[in-house]
Amino acid sequence: MRQRIRNRFPRRFAVIWIAVVVLFIGLLPHLRADERIEPNTGDWMQTNGPYGGEILTIHAAPKGVLFVGTDGAGIFRSIDRGNTWTPVNTGLHSEPGEGFTGVTAFMQKGGTFYAGTRHTLYASTDGGNTWHHVSNFRKFESISGLVVIDDRLYVGTLNTGVWYSDDDGASWLQVNDGLGPMLIRELAGIGTTLVAATNNGVFIKMTIEDWWAPMDTNAINQPINMELVNKARIDMGLDPLPKRNYTSEIRVQSFAAMEHLLYMSIDQVTRNNFGLFRSNDNGESWAYIAPAEMTRTVEALAVYGGTLYASSEGTIYRSDDKGDSWAIVNDGLTHGTVSTLLAVNEDTVFAGTSDDGVFRTTDGGNSWVEINTGITNTTVNELEVVGDRLYTRVGGKIVCTADGGESWQPVRIPSTAMKYEFPSLSVSDGELYVGTVRYATHNEGANLGGIFRLDAENNTLVELITHRDLARLQCIEVVGTTFYIGALVNGVSQWEKDSGPWITNLGLKGYYFNMLLTNGERVYASVNSGEGKGDEIYRLQGEQWEPIHATDMIGDNMADLKWVGSVLYTTFWNKGVFRSHDGGDSWTDINDGLETFATAIGTDGKEVYVSTFTKVFQWTEDKKQWEPIGSLPYQALSLAVLDGFLYAGTSGGGVYKIKIEE
């Protein structure tokens, strides 16, 4: 029906809200930083998923035990090689509405496991069951790497370089002489040598020395032999790459070591340059070894024995000859970024993704399977009810539940849609429609946008239309057989089902679209110009779009827009709830009982519910005020009512539900 709340708003206003909490905590000197703040959730229950979400790091412990660090849901542990996962967060600090801070690195020293977060180091001596606070680094500092060499614990950070401790974290010293840039992207140990990959090259330090020496990257400064690279690409039927000129100011994206070989991927945002390089002389010289098909930066590298894995833009490459030749090994992986790779033996590799959780291969990458059972770190921006089922989109898939969230089943994606993303869902006349976009690579032709319909009986998507004019689709709205599509640059388009590729442009070009809405008579659009003016509501009158919002609504950030019967409701991040009884000609704020901000709107067609960050309220018309119905440990981004339950999609905590009818 619309594109749900964009995370650019929750993050910004969450910071304001958390700042108030921090001031309050400052008055309570006896509150320990590692004590978790438990919100009063009332009768809200977390459902079993949807599973997946952002994975920041993966660590393999002895006897098949695995740990993953997430961004928002803390740490999960598997004792069966990834088949099932259990949260192990006792002792980790969390913030109301934000969940757990991102867990970015793991390391084991003897019987102690260490976990690094965005500003704190934790340790566990009972296999991860409980964690205790070891050290705080600077506020908002992020731990980017943990290494143990000769019983010394090293910590790489994103702003203050490298620290070390000889007493298990009781005291720390910096070791940054010669390091230059303090932003450590990766920290690795190779024998007795410490390697720091930074935003300005690679530095090495022998443990017996107190200073860092830069690796010579002059070889990277020279233009790559594009003639050879492009000959290989042309032989494969690919377009040639433009000539690149690398400079000494390189940003290291990932780093790995194999025997006497070093591997490094670099990225230069300002020049749109990237590359994968290998050194066989401890960094004295570097050779370009990226596969010809690779057109984007390598985000992650992993090695085991003589096999090298590299991920780039959701594609995983494998080399069995140390980088001389490559094969794409991607079967079973959904589209999206592979943010971390871990190879545990010749055949078994784990891939952590930015949206879809963890995947595993047991045949060297020839096939991958999703292994997320138990990992709930998903952000649910949209919930839609179709019959007795609840649908949402998480990561690169659409999932549904028919048993109140006890289990979630993925909707089958046909091969024609495998490379599409799903920015919007819409329900009309009991049918679910999906707005899609495909950002093509150089050899796939033009970018495309389109609409698919759910075949509920076969639980699969069916293509209705794809068109290059819809390439930057952001939201859709459907009424009967008429489809409205909001797309960046192209504005609003109208398409009639079964009319072939004929699309009518309705104007409103040059905006970012939050959502589209129609009551069958008029079309409404929530848009943003991108010029810092906030969100605006436009209504289509004949062939003209007119702004319709009260003066005190201008310049604010809209979260939701929805019809409840004949009344139009909208919510704003710092101005609460407004409603209109005349289709938008006039608006009244209804905020009694609320904080000053509101997010999602939920309804069963009669009752109205709203969320305000982590709290949920129900409107009582006779009292003209909002009544609280509990709070959540995560931000609520979407609401839906089904079979006597109110469901809340959250930022990082999956879906929660509460009984609203006896």
CATH code given to domain 411-548: 2.120.10.30
In the block, tokens 């203050």 appear at 160
Whether 111 has a pLDDT exceeding 50, the answer reads: yes
* pLDDT mean over 635-651: 96
Report the range of poorest mean pLDDT among 96-100, 356-360, 372-376.
Answer: 96-100
Q: Give the global pTM.
A: 0.85
* Cα gap 534→505, rounded to integer Å: 24
The helix or strand, by DSSP H or E, that contains position 156, with its residue range, turns out to be strand 152-157
Report the DSSP pairing between strands 608-612 and 152-157. Answer: unpaired
pLDDT of 140 strictly over 60: no
**Average pLDDT, stretch 207-212?**
83
**DSSP per-residue string spanning 279-344:** ESSTTSS-EE---TT--S---EEEEETTEEEEEETTEEEEESSTTSS-EE--TTPPSS-EEEEEE-
Q: What pLDDT is recorded for position 7?
A: 40
Interatomic CA distance for residues 130 and 127, integer angstroms? 8
Residues present in the chain in total = 662
More confident residue, 460 or 520: 460
Q: How far apart are CA 521 and CA 535, in angstroms?
A: 23
Average pLDDT over residues 574-583: 92
Nearest to 78 by CA among 358, 306, 310, 294: 358
User: What 3 state SS string does 198-265 have?
Assistant: ECCEEEEEECCCCCCEECCCHHHHCCCCHHHHHHHHHHCCCCCCCCCCCCCCCEEEEEEEECCEEEEE
Exposure of 486 by Cβ count < 10 A (0-12 exposed, 13-18 middle, 19+ buried)?
Answer: buried
pLDDT at 237: 63
Identify the pLDDT of residue 249: 58
- pLDDT attached to residue 577: 94
pLDDT of residue 191: 84
- The mean pLDDT value for 319-345 works out to 89
- On the question of pLDDT at 95 being above 60, the answer is yes
pLDDT at residue 636, rounded to an integer: 94
Residue-range domain boundaries for the chain? 1-50+554-662, 51-136, 142-214, 411-548
Question: What integer pLDDT is reported at residue 235 of this predicted model?
Answer: 65
pLDDT of 2 reads: 43
Distances (CA, A) of 357 to 10, 85, 373: 22, 11, 10
Task: Give residue for tokens 């990225």.
Answer: 267
Per-residue confidence (pLDDT) for residue 91, from 0 to 100: 95
DSSP characters over 561-627: EEEETTEEEEEETTTEEEEESSTTSS-EE--TTS-S----EEESSSSEEEEETTEEEEEETTTTEEE
Q: What was the pLDDT predicted at 270?
A: 44
Q: Is the pLDDT of residue 202 over 90?
A: no
From the number of C-beta atoms within 10 Å of its C-beta (0-12, 13-18, 19+), residue 3 rates as buried
Quote the percentage of the chain above a pLDDT of 90: 55
The residue with tokens 């030749």 is: 325
**Domain 1-50+554-662 listed as CATH 2.60.120.10:** no
The reported pLDDT for the residue numbered 535 is 87
Average pLDDT score over the chain: 85
**What residue type is 408 in one-letter code?**
W
Cis peptide before 50 (omega within 30 of 0): yes
Q: Tell me, what's the pLDDT at 232?
A: 64
Count of beta carbons in the 10 Å neighbourhood of residue 227: 9
Query: Which top CATH class is 142-214?
Result: mainly beta
Rounded Cα distance, 287 and 280, in Å: 9
